[in-house]
């Protein structure tokens, strides 16, 4: 499958879908508290997507080859669950950490993003893992520009995670996205600089590192979807959808409730602008 370079019209549609996906995460944030079930969070998000936004929850009944249909509108991964957690009846408790992954479809375009949430008061270890994972995502995004490579993104993520004593899940990766949920290219969250496909203006893909506090090995639960750490260590994930622009990148899944862009990314962008306007 070839990499799809998006047209101006498609980019405009992806901006809308990306913002709407992020706004679902804004909406659900106040509801993440001790005692709520992930099933209730799913119901709230489903109703908001379908009734307020008039979007379609892409995960609901999604069934790639070899998988049974995913039964819910969002993914909720708690503590040592790495990704694709199925919302259910178990109540969240104080100290839990939770990733909520949302993909909406609006006018045929997919917006895909996820965030970490703390239930009550998290441990210092959980907060640190989430913070480092957030920076990993942004360090990867900060590599994005025409002529850079997918290996540049993965290397930046891997170096920061391992420098902090964590490991990178390798079985799952970011992906191209547009009119289809999953397109080429695959965005690995580890690797070597200057390797794999070069980036080009108009490419849109997700950067979504999954970082484990312990070892990187994972396993799949009997439900056929939920992925957990083999050693039962905590896992964290953050995700944005990113457009390659003529001069760098545009994050398409930002909204009023998004966390601030890290200072190191803002400084990098300011330096790039200074270089652009410097006399030859």
At residue 266, the pLDDT reads 73
Q: What domains can be seen in the chain, in order of their start residue? A: 8-274 (3.90.230.10)
At residue 5, the pLDDT reads 97
Q: Which residue positions in the chain have pLDDT lower than 70?
A: 1, 268-280
- Residue 118 dihedral angles phi and psi, to the nearest 5°: -100, 135
pLDDT of 87-110, one tens digit each? Answer: 999 999 999 999 999 999 999 999
At residue 267, the pLDDT reads 74
Considering only CA atoms, which of 45, 43, 30, 38 is closest in space to residue 90?
Answer: 38
The CA R_g of the chain, rounded to the nearest whole Å, is 18
At residue 178, the pLDDT reads 98
At residue 195, the pLDDT reads 97
pLDDT of 119-136, one tens digit each? Answer: 999 999 999 999 999 999
At residue 19, the pLDDT reads 98
At residue 276, the pLDDT reads 55
Q: 119 is written with which tokens?
A: 């239930």
Rounded to whole angstroms, the Cα distance separating 103 from 93 reads: 26
Rounded to whole angstroms, the Cα distance separating 117 from 113 reads: 13
| Residue whose token pair is 């069934």 | 63
Sign of CA dihedral 130, 133, 137, 139: positive
Rounded to whole angstroms, the Cα distance separating 256 from 231 reads: 36
């Amino acid at each position: 499958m070839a990499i799809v370079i998006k047209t101006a019209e498609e980019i405009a549609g992806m901006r809308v879908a990306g913002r709407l996906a992020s706004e679902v995460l804004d909406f659900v944030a106040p509801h993440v508290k001790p005692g709520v079930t992930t099933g209730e969070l799913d119901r709230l998000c489903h109703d908001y997507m379908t009734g307020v936004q008039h979007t379609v929850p892409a995960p609901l009944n999604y069934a790639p080859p070899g998988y049974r249909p995913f039964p819910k509108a969002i993914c909720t991964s708690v503590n040592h669950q790495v990704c694709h957690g199925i919302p259910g009846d178990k109540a969240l408790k104080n100290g839990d950490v939770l990733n909520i992954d949302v993909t909406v479809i609006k006018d045929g375009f997919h917006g895909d993003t996820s965030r970490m949430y703390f239930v009550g008061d998290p441990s210092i270890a959980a907060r640190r893992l989430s913070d480092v994972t957030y920076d990993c995502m942004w360090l990867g995004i900060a590599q994005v520009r025409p002529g850079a490579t997918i290996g540049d993104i993965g290397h930046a993520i891997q170096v920061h995670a391992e420098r902090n004593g964590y490991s990178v899940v390798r079985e799952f990766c970011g992906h191209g996205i547009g009119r289809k949920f999953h397109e080429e290219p695959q965005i690995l969250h580890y690797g070597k600089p200057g390797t794999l496909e070069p980036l080009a203006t108009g490419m849109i893909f997700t950067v979504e590192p999954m970082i484990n506090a312990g070892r990187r090995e994972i396993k799949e639960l009997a439900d056929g979807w939920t992925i957990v750490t083999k050693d039962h260590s905590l896992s964290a994930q953050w995700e944005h959808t990113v457009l390659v622009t003529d001069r760098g990148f545009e994050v398409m899944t930002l909204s009023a409730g998004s966390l601030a862009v890290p200072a190191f990314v803002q400084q990098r962008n300011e330096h790039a602008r200074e270089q652009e306007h410097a006399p030859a």
